[in-house]
Structure 1
């Protein structure tokens, strides 16, 4: 019998429709179950994302409350703003000051004679720029050892007026060069970057024409204020370096800069013009930032409460729970936040301000917060420092030589005794005694030096040739040249050089075991007792915090145990007890740490998010497996229908055959009758 080529022909049944309906029935229940699970999981992911976003906003608000600057904002007003500008930091105490400006600070400014154009050749050789104080009465120049000395090579590539300007500016020598001119000619103007009487400019020239002080060649740029015009003082003095002179409440003060940050603690005065009488500076506490910060915290917390309610609450009217109702992670987040809100700070130094309620923040029956700004303002007016302490992580030392510099989330609140068992020291190099006495001469035979400071090796340093009247003058020259080295400046390395009776001592500016001065070499090292000189490495401070040995780093003690992460900067000299440090954690810091923990990459919210993502993947895997099962089932049903079709076709064929035979038999019987 021929095979059936199209399913359903043999049985005369609509097998395709039957298969479609049958498979739809098979898919309906498990597909609905997976769709429901997927919808619920996506809803959970969505509401968890809303909770996470709200927690992140609360984290930001909490960090604002954990910053000292939030609680110590000051406003400053000035009677005569044309003469004076004032900014106030958190350290400024409210009050008023009478400020009178008698003289403004100025930078030194020098100018060359006129040249025909900016590209006229000047000369070649070396310019050495240094700084110091000029005393016109005694006609003396005293080098400023705190300012570096810089040498600049002038050759055929840069010996024009413009080339020298560019070479000076590229050298980072503490001055700025420019060309000023008109129809009558061009002049090179050299201005100091720093103002103040101690920053007068001196320019020594090594002129390739052999005469380094005359008014020709490169020595036209020579400037020694103690020399005669045309013989080393070859520039015009446009502006003389001078200090600012002013008074605060009648107390006469000076400053090298017109921006003064040391006159009154917390105030920066910018002197703009002289005054004939004092102007009043008024400093007031600004509480607006505190009110705004606490308002932002309350709003952020209420957003979290709303997000948690939407994620895990129950709608009694619709008798339906939210996607994460009963979820342990959301419940834990809610309980931890509310527990902290209603807690009291046992470590607070002021029992009147040891809870959020004491400054006007109250938890309502519906789980939200309210801020009573009137109560907050009253608290700030009563004791602003206590209010700040309620929110900050802060340490207070009883000894003025101890500064609480840093803490971490591991530092526990408490009072810790501080003891110094060994002071920190700086690394130094002690030169050998010099056989000769002052004056000391530096010339081409002994002007080169290299050394290593704090592990950084210098470039070749060239000392300024000349005669130095004393060991202190020689030490000042070495200090300015060493500190002017480009590698040292780039690395923040510096030294102080002193003269000790008959030898030089070079001391690193750094404290601790990384502080060292070594490997002096060059002709200057040989000439001035530094070649093979003994070096002493610095040592770290040693001591304890809270009776537990601390780690020393330079002049800092870093706590261990309960004081882990507490960093104390120790100043002054002497060993023994340094009083105690009381460290407290306020609500801003506590909320910030709690939220950091919740929102960390391995925190509760992320773990829940990962679990929901994994659940979504599992559902999709189940959907794929269902489709695979349905495909297999459909194929099995199809084969069964094919077999049914064959059987039905065979039965139909048999039926047709029997019908034919019966018809034939009936016809035959009729004919016989």
Structure 2
């Protein structure tokens, strides 16, 4: 029978139980602290997500305003009274009005034909050097005895492409057993006249040279376009010309051709774009209402955004155009679930709609048709309601943008910092708990060792006492 209590206990189990009790206490305290911080952090993360969504909606609103501003600009159309002589399109800034066009000559590219040969693919058995010049550029084509009309054309095209010479060659048939090599400029105008010389004579000649004494046949002479627009004379190397925002393509000669430039407003498109702006604005109001209703933390940032928006759109200008607050009984509601499980219906505030005049029944489109310039000025002019709203949303400078994004006081960066700070606190608490547990392990390891030593000593003393009693 053991002589003392120290010999009767399971030292390892005893120490483990003591340590477990203290570890549980540390875990309990740590959990209480981190749970509170986690709850706050979770609410802040929800807020941050809502802020990000609202910023996305604000960006969408700005896009709609900019789209409306562009759509308010008139469209222009140009027409020609003689499309056989000239076609016209808008390509730049134009002024509505009438223009008179007279075309006396079209621009054309020069082409030169050789003499007649009986085959396009039979060796010509000639030795010749053909020099082709256009402007200051030229190429030399060496013709050998086994070349045919077609291989000569191929050589010309390859060399012209390689040396960036605006020339092209082809073989045409002018009748049975009659083939000719044709060399043409790829660009019209007198500046692109084709000049050809050759060294071969007699049976060694292609008979395609130009200039005095030339043996080639000029099929088409290089020419510049000559025309008048509103009494002003023009000469051009091409038949396509851009003048005062009008792209005029000459197709034939003609006189007193009327070029009409008309302006038109996009009434239906503007009305649709205004509705898009209203819808984008309402999306923001609904998002703010839902966030305020479900966020566990008070939120002055959303209140400031909502206040800025409401103050601007409550202007008499919008009311006079039929852009009015949505009546309470027409608001599209949403529901939230309260902490006790109760479902509550919520009514967003500050919503807008486009309404017909309650007295005359006049629609927004009708007002727009009758008073386009004034409404454009009221909405997207320099001091227009939507222009001012757009300036509030402008990145870096807009007041509403700053409420959410300013690095010093903006809701998004401040909330991010709060989330990060809480995470540091949570990590610090957990790290401290880990250090306490490590200390307990060392503490109870020493206790375990001490008790083990005491147990051994106790057993030794018991054995000695027993031996002494047996020797009496």
Normalising to structure 2: TM-score of the pair?
Answer: 0.64
1:380 corresponds in structure 2 to 368
Q: What is the alpha-carbon distance in structure 1 between the residues aligned to residue 11 and residue 123 of structure 2?
A: 103
CA gap of 1:61–1:166, structure 2 versus 1, over 3 A, is farther
Superposition deviation, residue 376 in structure 1? 3.0
Superposition deviation, residue 266 in structure 1? 7.3
Aligned: 1:369 with 2:352: yes
Deviations 1:370-420 (A, max 9, x none): 234864322332232333334556xxxxxxxxxxxxxxxxxxxxxxxxxxx
Superposition deviation, residue 72 in structure 1? 0.7
Q: What is the alpha-carbon distance in structure 1 between the residues aligned to residue 83 and residue 307 of structure 2?
A: 54
Superposition deviation, residue 12 in structure 1? 6.6
Is contact 1:76-1:88 (8 Å) kept? Answer: yes
Superposition deviation, residue 16 in structure 1? 5.8
Q: What is the alpha-carbon distance in structure 1 between the residues aligned to residue 395 and residue 203 of structure 2?
A: 73
1:630 corresponds in structure 2 to 433
Q: What is the alpha-carbon distance in structure 2 between the residues aligned to residue 324 and residue 104 of structure 1?
A: 79
CA gap of 1:151–1:261, structure 2 versus 1, over 3 A, is closer
Q: What is the alpha-carbon distance in structure 2 between the residues aligned to residue 591 and residue 126 of structure 1?
A: 66
Matches within 5 A, 1:633-644: 633-644=436-447
2:129 corresponds in structure 1 to 123
Q: Where in structure 2 are there 5+ consecutive unaligned residues?
A: 1-5, 144-150, 328-348, 357-361
CA gap of 1:77–1:367, structure 2 versus 1, over 3 A, is farther
Structure number with higher relative contact order (C-alpha < 8 Å, ≥ 6 residues apart)? 2
1:202 corresponds in structure 2 to 193
Matched position secondary structure for 2:300:
coil
CA gap of 1:204–1:193, structure 2 versus 1, over 3 A, is closer
CA gap of 1:186–1:341, structure 2 versus 1, over 3 A, is farther
Aligned: 1:190 with 2:184: yes
Q: Pick one of 286, 308, 312 that aligns with 2:288.
A: 308
Superposition deviation, residue 50 in structure 1? 0.5
1:530 corresponds in structure 2 to none
Q: What is the alpha-carbon distance in structure 1 between the residues aligned to residue 171 and residue 378 of structure 2?
A: 60
Deviations 1:556-583 (A, max 9, x none): xxxxxxxxxxxxxxxxxxxxxxxxxxxx
Is contact 1:112-1:188 (8 Å) kept? Answer: yes
1:236 corresponds in structure 2 to 218
Deviations 1:68-122 (A, max 9, x none): x543135689999999876568977889x99999999553341322674699876
1:39 corresponds in structure 2 to 42
CA gap of 1:85–1:32, structure 2 versus 1, over 3 A, is farther
Matches within 5 A, 1:478-557: none
2:108 corresponds in structure 1 to 107
Q: What is the alpha-carbon distance in structure 2 between the residues aligned to residue 119 and residue 370 of structure 1?
A: 83
Structure number having the greater helix percentage: 2
Deviations 1:420-459 (A, max 9, x none): xxxxxxxxxxxxxxxxxxxxxxxxxxxxxxxxxxxxxxxx
Matched position secondary structure for 2:134:
strand
Normalising to structure 1: TM-score of the pair?
Answer: 0.48
CA gap of 1:31–1:660, structure 2 versus 1, over 3 A, is same
Deviations 1:496-554 (A, max 9, x none): xxxxxxxxxxxxxxxxxxxxxxxxxxxxxxxxxxxxxxxxxxxxxxxxxxxxxxxxxxx
Matched position secondary structure for 1:334:
helix
Aligned length: 416
Is contact 1:107-1:192 (8 Å) kept? Answer: no
Larger Rg: 2
Q: Where in structure 1 are there 5+ consecutive unaligned residues?
A: 130-149, 345-354, 394-583
Q: What is the alpha-carbon distance in structure 1 between the residues aligned to residue 152 and residue 223 of structure 2?
A: 27
Superposition deviation, residue 190 in structure 1? 1.8
Q: What is the alpha-carbon distance in structure 2 between the residues aligned to residue 176 and residue 124 of structure 1?
A: 13
Aligned: 1:151 with 2:146: no
2:29 corresponds in structure 1 to 26
2:307 corresponds in structure 1 to 335
Q: What is the alpha-carbon distance in structure 2 between the residues aligned to residue 19 and residue 172 of structure 1?
A: 90
Matched position secondary structure for 1:177:
strand
Q: What is the alpha-carbon distance in structure 2 between the residues aligned to residue 118 and residue 367 of structure 1?
A: 88
Q: What is the alpha-carbon distance in structure 2 between the residues aligned to residue 595 and residue 215 of structure 1?
A: 82
CA gap of 1:253–1:361, structure 2 versus 1, over 3 A, is farther
CA gap of 1:77–1:631, structure 2 versus 1, over 3 A, is same
Matched position secondary structure for 1:188:
strand
1:299 corresponds in structure 2 to 279
Matches within 5 A, 1:125-144: 125=131, 127-129=133-135
